[in-house]
Amino acid sequence: MNITKENVDALNAILKVDIVAEDYKDKVTEVLNDYRKKANIPGFRKGNVPMGMVRKQYGKSVMIDEVNKLLQEGLNKFLVEEKLDILGNPLPVVKDDFSWDTDKFSFEFELGLAPEFDVDVKGKNKITEYKIVATDDLIDKEVENIQNRYGKLITLEEGEEHANVTGTFVNEEEGINKKSTFLVNDLKGKKNEKKFIGAKVGDVIELETKKLFEEDYKLSQALGVTKEVADELDEKVTFTIEEISKTEPADLDQELFGKLFPDGSVTTVTELKEKIKQDAEGQFQQQADQQLLNAVTEHFIENTKFELPAEFLQKWLQTAGEQELSEDEAKEEYTKSEKGLRYQLIEGKIMKDNDIKLEYAELLDYTKGFIKAQMAQFGNMNPEEEELNNIAGRVLSNKDEAQRLQSQLISQKLLSFFKENMEFKTKEVSYEDFIKEVYK
């Protein structure tokens, strides 16, 4: 077997594979001898069927199988030995005059070659690294939420601005009959709020569904209808008040601190606020890191220029999936996936140039940490090492799950590398301002 490569250009090549009878005839004979030993043909004892009959019946199909095996093995070996960095898979070139009725075969395959390029990691950039801080207002609101969660519910004689009201919404024509509870100040507009302030148990209040709540999603919950129905609903409903109550906030005392932190790590309001600040900023950091990684990704895609073998990749996409795509469908798919492909190549180049590797032991430890965190949520704080190893092994045996965890760990490694080697413009913002700037 002889394999040669001819470069069409920097991104495309043709592989030519020539196979002659000497390459496959011994293997074909071996397979046919095995067939002869096992063949059950009327008129002949098992193992005594004439080879000529076996060859006539099975020879061509066996030869085709062996040539295809030889072809695949030869291609894979050539690509590895020549260290060819290809995109997609080799595409066979269809020859109209090809025939299996010969003992010499010539095959051709199109290759899409990965481009050569450099990535400027330490060059100038305008990427912002956000430091999200927990503001005093956010901390005070969380303290208030804690006090309300651990507070005491007291019954009121009449409605007021921050009261909880329980009752039943009714509209017979729309089939609405739903008991609900909501805060008076969740209602949209002073007009609606005034209807409940001073109202008492047994009062029947008429309301318009349109813009009834400050948050639109609360209407579907209150009326017991789907979001789609709630969005289109513009009807009058009655609400019969059955109960009025109010949460009396818990005192910020040792009893509350003990409930929140049984280990005694928080004993004062100052310590509570510091704990809230740390937890909030820890969560914010995850979002800031993801935003930074996204920004760096976009930076490299925009500033790392190279060509791709687009025509080859579109042709390859036509047959790469479970369902064959038309030429137009493949072009559309390529357009959608080109950006992701470019970053895959850039990411691979950065990892290769900077010796960033992912060992299986690292992936196993990362998976075990992920499992341990999940188990802690269900009260298992100290699982046995053997148990963690067994669960992690099962998780990583799932190809999709292993790929997902591997991708997460690679992103963490790259993020650490970027932080150590790239210069960013640092900006300190509140969470609200971060959302406005990043997701505007």
CA-CA distance, 427 to 434, in Å (whole number)? 10
Domain with CATH 3.10.50 in the chain: 152-248
In terms of residues, how long is the chain? 440
Q: Parallel, antiparallel, or unpaired: how do β-strands 204-208 and 128-133 relate?
A: unpaired
Q: Which pLDDT value is given to residue 8?
A: 96
Beta strands in 2-141 (DSSP E): 2-7, 12-19, 86-92, 105-113, 128-133
Q: Which pLDDT value is given to residue 273?
A: 97
Q: Which pLDDT value is given to residue 347?
A: 96
431 in Cβ contact with 132 (< 8 Å): yes
> Among candidates 338, 356, 308, 306, which has minimal Cα distance to 117?
306
Name 428's Cβ contacts closer than 8 Å, sequence gap at least 6: 130, 131, 133
Mean pLDDT by 10-residue block, N- to C-terminus, for the chain (440 residues)?
95 96 94 84 76 87 95 95 95 92 94 96 91 96 94 94 94 93 94 95 95 91 91 94 95 95 94 96 96 96 95 94 92 95 96 95 94 86 89 94 95 96 95 91
Q: Which pLDDT value is given to residue 255?
A: 94
Q: Which CATH class is domain 152-248?
A: alpha beta
Q: Which pLDDT value is given to residue 382?
A: 85
> Among candidates 51, 2, 45, which has minimal Cα distance to 31?
51
CA-CA distance, 296 to 420, in Å (whole number)? 13
358 in Cβ contact with 409 (< 8 Å): yes
CATH (one of 2.40.50.100, 3.30.70.1050, 1.20.210.10, 1.10.3720.10) for 2-113: 3.30.70.1050
The two structure tokens encoding residue 262: 């049984």
The two structure tokens encoding residue 251: 């005192």
> H-type helices in 131-253, by residue range?
136-149, 190-196, 217-223, 227-232
Name 333's Cβ contacts closer than 8 Å, sequence gap at least 6: 317, 325
214 in Cβ contact with 193 (< 8 Å): no
Query: pTM of the prediction?
Result: 0.77
414 in Cβ contact with 347 (< 8 Å): yes
Name 28's Cβ contacts closer than 8 Å, sequence gap at least 6: 59, 62, 63, 66
The two structure tokens encoding residue 114: 């990965």
* Angle in degrees, CA 269, 142, 437, rounded to 5: 130
CA-CA distance, 90 to 316, in Å (whole number)? 8
290, containing H or E segment = helix 269-303
AA letter at 295:
A
CA-CA distance, 366 to 420, in Å (whole number)? 21
Name 188's Cβ contacts closer than 8 Å, sequence gap at least 6: 211, 212, 213, 214
> DSSP string spanning 246-283?
EEEPPPSSHHHHHHH-TTS---SHHHHHHHHHHHHHHH
Task: Report how far apart the first and last C-alpha atoms of the chain are (Å, whole number).
Answer: 61
Name 309's Cβ contacts closer than 8 Å, sequence gap at least 6: 11, 12, 87, 112, 113
Domain with CATH 3.30.70.1050 in the chain: 2-113
CA-CA distance, 438 to 344, in Å (whole number)? 24
